[in-house]
Amino acid sequence: MKAKVLIRPKEGILDPQGKAVERALPALGFEGVHDVRVGRLVELETDDPSKLDDLCEKLLANPLIEDFEVELEQ
């Protein structure tokens, strides 16, 4: 089964990468864009989707600093 795991910095944690992107946008003529946060998307195929949450907590995300969402593709 195919799955997508979306990992993002936890709310309240400074994301300097998002800030840098946000600051670059006006120079390119994109005004009015705020609160840019940069995360990570992991695509994978698994034989056992029931283990995905455990796998995310142990490796793909660090729960102290990141939130994750798992999306299964039917």
Partner 1 sequence: MIGVIQFPGSCDERDAVAAVERVGEGRLVWHEETDLSGLDGVVVPGGFSYGDYLRAGAIARFSPAMEAVARFAAEGGPVLGICNGFQVLCEAGLLPGALLPNEGLRFICRQVQLVAEDFTGPFGGSIESGQRLSIPVKHMSGRYFAPDEDLDQLESEGRIAFRYAPGENPNGSVRDIAGVINEAGNVIGLMPHPEHAVDPLTGSDDGLVLFRALAGAQQAATA
Q: Rule CB under 8 A: which residues touch partner 1? A: 13-14, 16-17, 20, 59-60, 62, 64-65
CA gap 40, 5 in Å, rounded: 8
**Residue number, 6 or 60, with CB nearest to partner 1:** 60
Residue among 29 and 64 whose Cβ is closer to partner 1: 64
Return d(Cα 24, Cα 22) in angstroms, integer.
5
Query: Cβ 21 to partner 1, closest distance in Å?
Result: 11
Amino acid in the structure at residue 58 = K
Q: How far is the CB of 74 from partner 1 (least distance, A)?
A: 27
Q: CA 8, CA 39: separation in Å to the nearest integer?
A: 4
